[in-house]
A and B are shown apart, each in its own frame.
Chain A
């Protein structure tokens, strides 16, 4: 079955760079049409889409955050990595990775999420 799991630091300091890893199973990012996205959710607030990487290594970013984000994949390890530079307390959030359904382009499977707090 399809599973995704996020990992990374629970606490980062302001101005630091955050690196999160999504490790998945049950599908391959080398399959045509397959994509993985990152989404975040500040405490008590709405979901926000961040980035997407597809099977062909094409990368797409949120307009408002694109200067700070980098998404990459390691197909052999079944991993997708997101880096976010210049972290600020407003970036405190639960970060989710999700698989994008080939058929509908929606998020059909999600990881459990990982809470990242930005504080000095």
Chain B
């Protein structure tokens, strides 16, 4: 099975900061990766698909990059509503999937 290692597991930042979250795959997965945002008590919401494509309706301060084994989610200028937990999801082994362990983004 493909393993996804996400880092950091938690992160404290301030409104206006630039933040980067990383996911590393145990083997090459091309660009078969998405990023999801989850707020407490809510279902995950897709932000990025195919590693770098922005989901319709998602603010442009969110961006994704990477290919192969290393991927990043960047939030260019944190807003109060961005404090949440973020997950990566690989689907290169479709129809089998693997999530990262999550990154909890907290207010400093």
Which A positions have Cβ atoms within 8 angstroms of B? 35, 37, 39, 46-49, 52, 54, 58, 60, 62-63, 96, 98, 101, 104-108, 110-113
Q: Which residue of A lies closest to B1 (CB)?
A: A63
Give chain B residues whose Cβ lies under 8 Å from the Cβ of A49. Answer: 96-99
Map CB proximity to A onto B42-62 as digits: 1 under 8 Å, 0 otherwise: 111110011000000000000
Map CB proximity to A onto B85-101 as digits: 1 under 8 Å, 0 otherwise: 00101010011111111
Q: Which of A35, A46, A111 contacts B99 (CB 8 A)?
A: A46
**Interchain CA distance A50-B98 in the complex, whole Å:** 10
B46 and A106 contacting across the interface, CB-CB below 8 Å: yes
B89 and A54 contacting across the interface, CB-CB below 8 Å: no
Q: A47-B99, A47-B102, A110-B43 are in contact. List 12 more A-B contacts (CB 8 A).
A: A39-B99, A46-B101, A60-B95, A60-B96, A62-B96, A104-B50, A105-B94, A106-B89, A106-B91, A108-B46, A110-B44, A112-B42
The answer, yes or no, to whether B32 is at the interface (CB within 8 Å) is yes
Chain B interface size range: 20 to 34
The answer, yes or no, to whether B34 is at the interface (CB within 8 Å) is yes
Q: Which of A35, A47, A58, A60 contacts B44 (CB 8 A)?
A: A47
A96 and B43 contacting across the interface, CB-CB below 8 Å: yes
Give chain A residues whose Cβ lies under 8 Å from the Cβ of B87. Answer: 46-47
Q: Min CB distance, A54 to chain B, in Å?
A: 7
**Interchain CA distance A113-B43 in the complex, whole Å:** 7
